A and B are shown apart, each in its own frame.
Chain A
């Protein structure tokens, strides 16, 4: 029964991924990536990884969707058809068939699938991963740490140093975003008030428009849809 649920969720994942690629409206694509994250979270729940599922639902489905919507509010949600500015009818451009990229992708996928054949079976108790430190964590954390949730014990205590690194990585992400967006802002305003707190306060929110029915694409000239053809 459980394996049926696994396969059903996996099929949904595949269908959602295909839909993300095929759909022409970026707003719909962002929503589909949110659905993809929720499906992943369901899959993690079925596999008893509830902590990971929780994070995936909160970060993947919740927060990154909001950030993507904020980005859409900046760039517009329509993929515009390619517009050729140079009118030169004598040069006939043959339609580019993506044979080589397709070949590379299929080859890479085949190598990855071939690689998984050497991996130990899922859930096998004789797997190397279950022979190393995991038994110690499961058996000893109850009286060494005294916390029922072994995941928390491993995350915060046994592997506390790693978690500190992760926290620093998260912090670095914020620093990166601040530097990137502030640098653009500075270039706009010729060096006045790079961090722009006052600016931020006086601005109303931008991306709420993404929920409206109309999202006029500011990126009319961008030929984002060249690879996809006329879908």
Chain B
């Protein structure tokens, strides 16, 4: 599909907006609908759009499979790590109140980190699954 000029130009315009919107969804999740799951999927969708128009090879130059796989595990690590840190700071597992000076700030910080972990994992997982599906079609070439 990379010979379609309109698609290429439209994709080049759309992908940055999609990625930016994902970050908005991520950080606006405290105030409106959204959060880590949605942001992660939108981030992955931006990359998938890029891969669909410019080809899998070029998408993987930007975002290699190994990185996607790494991120999928890293997000779970961040999430569980926040839980462990709160244990070491004297609270219960995933009790964010002990993360900062006053409980409310601790909750904000904990939710921010945990949502970041969710986003990273979801993005990595979605891209990994997509890469593996899309690569299988051309295995016989």
Residue positions of A touching B, CB distance < 8 A: 50-51, 53-55, 58-59, 62-63, 66-67, 70-71, 73-74, 143-149, 151-153, 155-157, 160-161, 163-164, 167-168, 170-171, 173-174, 177-178, 181-182, 184-185, 188, 196-197, 199-208, 211
Provide the bound-state CA to CA distance between A55 and B76, in Å: 19
Decide: B125 and A188 in contact? CB cutoff 8 A. Answer: no
Given known contacts A66-B48, A167-B117, A199-B139, A173 and B57 CB-to-CB distance under 8 angstroms: no
B122 CB contact (under 8 Å) in A146, A153, A170, A204: A170
Chain B, 10-66, CB within 8 A of any chain A CB: 25, 29-35, 37-38, 41-42, 44-45, 48, 51-52, 55-57, 59-60, 64-66
Decide: B125 and A173 in contact? CB cutoff 8 A. Answer: yes
Decide: B137 and A206 in contact? CB cutoff 8 A. Answer: yes
B108 to chain A, nearest CB (A): 7
Decide: B56 and A71 in contact? CB cutoff 8 A. Answer: no
Count of chain B residues with Cβ under 8 Å from any Cβ of A?
65
What residues of A have a CB within 8 angstroms of the CB of B83 in the complex?
A: 160-161, 164
What residues of A have a CB within 8 angstroms of the CB of B138 in the complex?
A: 203-206
Decide: A73 and B137 in contact? CB cutoff 8 A. Answer: yes
CB nearest neighbor in A for B140? A188
Provide the bound-state CA to CA distance between A67 and B121, in Å: 18
Provide the bound-state CA to CA distance between A67 and B75, in Å: 22
What residues of B have a CB within 8 angstroms of the CB of A173 in the complex?
A: 125, 129
CB nearest neighbor in A for B124? A174
Decide: A167 and B75 in contact? CB cutoff 8 A. Answer: yes
Residue positions of B touching A, CB distance < 8 A: 1, 25, 29-35, 37-38, 41-42, 44-45, 48, 51-52, 55-57, 59-60, 64-66, 69, 72-73, 75-76, 79-80, 83, 93-94, 96, 103-104, 107-108, 110-111, 114-115, 117-118, 121-122, 124-126, 128-139, 141
What residues of B have a CB within 8 angstroms of the CB of A185 in the complex?
A: 136, 139
What residues of B have a CB within 8 angstroms of the CB of A177 in the complex?
A: 128-129, 132-133
B105 to chain A, nearest CB (A): 8
B75, B96, B131: residue with the most chain A Cβ atoms closer than 10 Å: B131
What residues of B have a CB within 8 angstroms of the CB of A145 in the complex?
A: 104, 107, 111
